[in-house]
Structure 1
Amino acid sequence: MKDQAENLRRRLEARQNQSMARTISVLSGKGGVGKSNFSLNFSIALSQRGKRVLLFDMDIGMGNIDILIGGQSPCSIIDFFENDYSLNDIITTGPGNISIITGGTGLKNLFAFDEDSYTRFNEEFSLLLANYDYILFDMGAGITQDSMKFLLCVDEWVVITTPEPTSIMDAYSTIKYIHSVNKEIPLFLVCNRVFTSKDGKKTINRLQNALMKFLGLETVALGFLPDDRTVSKSVSKQMPFILFDSEADVSKAILDIASRYANHSFGEELTLQKSGFLRNMKRYFLGK
């Protein structure tokens, strides 16, 4: 009874809290573009701005977050579904004072909710929405039926590409697909591994122009990251590059991206809607 009363109190407090976390899915058309490294360092950059950040590794069975930080979390999302852990139980403190939920291995059908599991997840996730400013989901490469449902629940998408033509085409195909299902979710673009700022601007402009011409889709250019040797060195040391060398060009670039994002300094008109993650989950997972 004591535990039930405590859980009820926490839920009521969460509902009274008007400031709910923004939910962001970070995705790419294919693997190998630096998506997880971006998610990790972007999370830390937001944390350095005084934001409360939870990074959720959604690349189940293939997650890289543990590897990038040189550790292995004792619990993962698997424990929530299979061992009756709470979401709060599986959160670990990561570098740069961010919170992390790792993906683990062995779960094939992520978020195949029935009514009971949905209710449990809904109640516990509502607490996380009240306790954080941003919740980032580092998605697996490509799109599955389950991940598509989840992508439709979040408030914003960040798509990572590189200047390589195949990467641009994969990003375009991914955006085309998700846009065909939902045309309302704001979409941000980040170009990784650029050799010059001119290359970065050219790549993003090329993708934006194609999206506008063929889909009528307006996107926000969030920024680009240089092809900096600091990244490979930091990965070898299993340390986020923003902490490995805060003066490196790539670290300054991720801080600039985080600043522009947090301040909504996009240069374009963009209306961010109130967070609707839980409402969308009910719609897409339960059909209600």
Structure 2
Amino acid sequence: MNDQAENLRRRLEARQNQSMARTIAVLSGKGGVGKSNFSLNFSIALSKRGKRVLIFDMDIGMGNIDILIGQHSTYSIIDFFENDCSLKDIITEGPGNISIITGGTGLTNLFSLDEESYTRFNEEFSSLLANYDYILFDMGAGITRDSMKFMLCVDELFVITTPEPTSIMDAYSAMKYIHSVNKEIPLFLVCNRVFTSKDGKETIKRLQNALVKFLGLETVVLGYLPDDRTVSRAVTKQIPFILFDSKANVSKAIADIASRYENHSFEGELTLQKSDFLRNMKRYFLGK
């Protein structure tokens, strides 16, 4: 009996000591800025660095990760809620050795968890947190009340913008809303489709200055992605651009962003804290 108790204690300690995945929500203020393409290729860039990565497509009814890779998933999150599949059952192996869970209309269930559903999701998702290094949630464009609750559960938020004035304004509005609810969650900025590095730096600087001036909000710049024809060619072929042409400027840029993020090579001082994703879910979705 003592041996059994000792073995159980060791298993529990081993589980507690397992490194848990960092959770990242990728969002944009408006659609059409390349958010899903960023999520997909950033994930593959991390995978190329030896990391275990899972993408959770959170764009309700308009998820396009499977379209970008030309790969139809047999299962989606709706099978977890309606067909009693486990989360592991609905994971699809994607290109570049990443894992994918597709969303679709079933995500409306995820945003309206009751206590029984939360308990089941908690148990299933705990194992995913232990089995991956990073879990990325590719959010839908804009912010809803429900998606906001979900975004407040993660460790960090990545905001994707472009140099277009409407994109910058929408990104500002999204971050203003997030900051009004939670002033502690780290916000990272990526500027996509820049013609020159100067163009990207000026775009981010204008956005950062407005955030500091009007909100007192500091953000972290992850980097810039060039407006590269490789992206449209890769999308047409339904191949992630980092795999389509690893030597293209945009592929080198996404690899640099992944390296900078993983190595915490940010301008200024920033200490990344781990949040408790599942405890946050219980707080925001069940009010406990």
Q: CA contact under 8 A between 1:188 and 1:220: conserved in structure 2? A: yes
Q: Report the equivalent of 1:202.
A: 202
* Deviation of 1:276 (Å): 1.2
Q: Report the equivalent of 2:110.
A: 110
AA partner of residue 267 (structure 1)? E
Distance in 1 between residues matched to 2:14 and 2:151, nearest whole Å: 24
Q: CA contact under 8 A between 2:160 and 2:191: conserved in structure 1? A: yes
Give the match's secondary structure for 1:222: strand
Q: How does 1:24-39 map to 2 (within 5 A)?
A: 24-39=24-39
Distance in 2 between residues matched to 1:16 and 1:244, nearest whole Å: 40
* Deviation of 1:268 (Å): 1.8
Matched, 1:277 2:277: yes
Distance in 1 between residues matched to 2:109 and 2:52, nearest whole Å: 29
Distance in 2 between residues matched to 1:236 and 1:19, nearest whole Å: 38
Residue 18 to residue 258, structure 1, CA distance change in 2 (3 Å):
same
Residue 14 to residue 103, structure 1, CA distance change in 2 (3 Å):
farther
AA partner of residue 37 (structure 1)? N
Q: Report the equivalent of 1:145.
A: 145
Task: Please give the TM-score of this superposition, normalised by the length of structure 1.
Answer: 0.94
Q: Report the equivalent of 2:65.
A: 65
More displaced, 14-23 or 110-119?
14-23
Deviations 1:67-120 (A, max 9, x none): 000011000011111111111000011000000001133654532111110000
AA partner of residue 135 (structure 1)? I
Distance in 2 between residues matched to 1:12 and 1:68, nearest whole Å: 40
Q: Report the equivalent of 2:129.
A: 129
Distance in 1 between residues matched to 2:21 and 2:110, nearest whole Å: 22
* Deviation of 1:146 (Å): 1.2
Deviations 1:20-74 (A, max 9, x none): 1000000000100000000000000000000110000000210010100001100
Q: Report the equivalent of 1:242.
A: 242
Distance in 1 between residues matched to 2:126 and 2:14, nearest whole Å: 7
AA partner of residue 276 (structure 2)? G
Distance in 1 between residues matched to 2:14 and 2:210, nearest whole Å: 42
Q: CA contact under 8 A between 1:76 and 1:90: conserved in structure 2? A: yes
AA partner of residue 78 (structure 2)? I
Give the match's secondary structure for 2:185: coil
Q: Report the equivalent of 2:49.
A: 49
AA partner of residue 44 (structure 1)? I
* Deviation of 1:18 (Å): 3.4
More displaced, 252-261 or 81-90?
81-90
Task: Count residues with an aligned counterpart.
Answer: 280
Give the match's secondary structure for 1:116: helix
* Deviation of 1:248 (Å): 0.1
Residue 84 to residue 234, structure 1, CA distance change in 2 (3 Å):
same
Q: CA contact under 8 A between 1:109 and 1:146: conserved in structure 2? A: no
Give the match's secondary structure for 2:110: coil
Give the match's secondary structure for 2:273: coil
Q: CA contact under 8 A between 2:27 and 2:141: conserved in structure 1? A: yes
Task: Please give the TM-score of this superposition, normalised by the length of structure 2.
Answer: 0.94
AA partner of residue 173 (structure 1)? S
Matched, 1:233 2:233: yes
Question: Which runs of 5 or more structure 2 residues have no equivalent in the other structure?
Answer: 1-7
Matched, 1:159 2:159: yes
Q: Report the equivalent of 1:19.
A: 19
AA partner of residue 147 (structure 1)? S
Question: Which runs of 5 or more structure 1 residues have no equivalent in the other structure?
Answer: 1-7
Distance in 1 between residues matched to 2:25 and 2:235, nearest whole Å: 22
AA partner of residue 49 (structure 2)? R
Residue 175 to residue 14, structure 1, CA distance change in 2 (3 Å):
farther
Give the match's secondary structure for 1:55: strand
